[in-house]
Structure 1
Amino acid sequence: MLKSTFQPALSAGIIKRCLTSSARIYQQSSKSQGIPKATEIEPETNRKVQQHLEFLKKYYTPELLQSIQISESLIDPRDVLELKKKGFRAKSKVAPGDALSDYSKTDPVWEEPIIYPNQGEGRTPYPKIPDIQGPDRTDLKLRFKDENTLKRKETAATSTRKIAEELAKLTGLDAGYIRGLYVRPIIMKRVSLKTSKGNIPNFFVLTVVGDRNGTIGLGIGKSRDGIRTAAVKAHWNAVKNLTPIPRYEERTILGDFEYKYHAVKLFMRSAPAGFGLRVNRNIFEICQAAGIKDLRGKVYKSRNPLLVCQGFVEALTKQRSIEDLAASRGKKIVDLRKVYYSH
Structure 2
Amino acid sequence: MFRAGLTRTGVVLQGQRFFSCGKIALQAQKPSPAKKAIKAQEHLNFLLKFYTPELLQSIRIAEALVSPEEYLGMRKKGPKAVSRVAPTDENTDFSYTDPQWDEPILYPNQADGHTPYARIPQIRAPDRSDLQLTFTADSAKKGRQTNSREDRDKFFLQLHQLTGMEERYMRGLYVRPIVMKRVSCQTSKGKIPNFYALTVVGDQNGMIGLGEGKSRDGMRVSLRKAHWNAIKSLQPIPRYEKRTIIGDVDYKYHAVKLFLKSAPAGFGLRVNPNIFEVCQAAGIKDLRGKVYKLRNPMNVVKGFVEALTKQTSLEDLAAGRGKKLVDLRKVYYSA
TM-score (norm 1): 0.59
Structure 1 residue 123 corresponds to structure 2 residue 67: yes
Q: Which residue number corresponds to residue 285 of structure 1?
A: 277
Shift of 1:177: 1.0
Q: Which residue number corresponds to residue 244 of structure 2?
A: 252
Q: Count residues in correspondence.
A: 223
Structure 1 residue 273 corresponds to structure 2 residue 265: yes
Letter of the 1:215 counterpart: M
Q: Which residue number corresponds to residue 151 of structure 1?
A: 92
Contact 1:268 1:297 (8 Å CA) reproduced: yes
Q: Which residue, 194, 197, 221 being the options, matches 1:205?
A: 197
CA distance in 2, matches of 1:313, 1:226: 27
Q: Which residue number corresponds to residue 173 of structure 1?
A: 165
SS in 1 for 2:92: helix
CA distance in 1, matches of 2:273, 2:217: 29
Q: 1:237 to 1:340 in 2, by over 3 A?
A: same
Q: How does 1:47-58 map to 2 (within 5 A)?
A: none
Identity of aligned residues (%): 62
Q: 1:147 to 1:264 in 2, by over 3 A?
A: farther
Shift of 1:338: 2.2
SS in 2 for 1:323: helix
SS in 2 for 1:275: coil
Shift of 1:189: 1.2
CA distance in 1, matches of 2:231, 2:248: 28
Shift of 1:175: 1.4
Which shifted more, 327-336 or 149-158?
Answer: 149-158
Structure 1's unaligned 5+ residue stretches are 1-85, 91-120, 134-139
Q: Which residue number corresponds to residue 325 of structure 1?
A: 317
Q: How does 1:1-343 map to 2 (within 5 A)?
A: 88=21, 122-125=66-69, 127=72, 129=74, 150-152=91-93, 155-329=147-321, 331-343=323-335
Contact 1:275 1:295 (8 Å CA) reproduced: yes
Q: Which residue number corresponds to residue 18 of structure 1?
A: none
Contact 2:74 2:82 (8 Å CA) reproduced: no
What's the C-alpha RMSD, in Å, of the aligned pairs? 2.9
Q: 1:231 to 1:123 in 2, by over 3 A?
A: same
Shift of 1:156: 2.6
Contact 1:161 1:179 (8 Å CA) reproduced: no
CA distance in 2, matches of 1:204, 1:303: 18
CA distance in 2, matches of 1:142, 1:184: 37
Shift of 1:184: 0.8
Cα offsets for 1:245-298 (capped at 9, x unmatched): 000000110111100000000000011111111111111111111010111101
Contact 2:178 2:197 (8 Å CA) reproduced: yes
Contact 2:259 2:289 (8 Å CA) reproduced: yes
Q: 1:315 to 1:130 in 2, by over 3 A?
A: farther
TM-score (norm 2): 0.60
Q: 1:146 to 1:190 in 2, by over 3 A?
A: farther
SS in 1 for 2:261: strand
Letter of the 1:311 counterpart: G
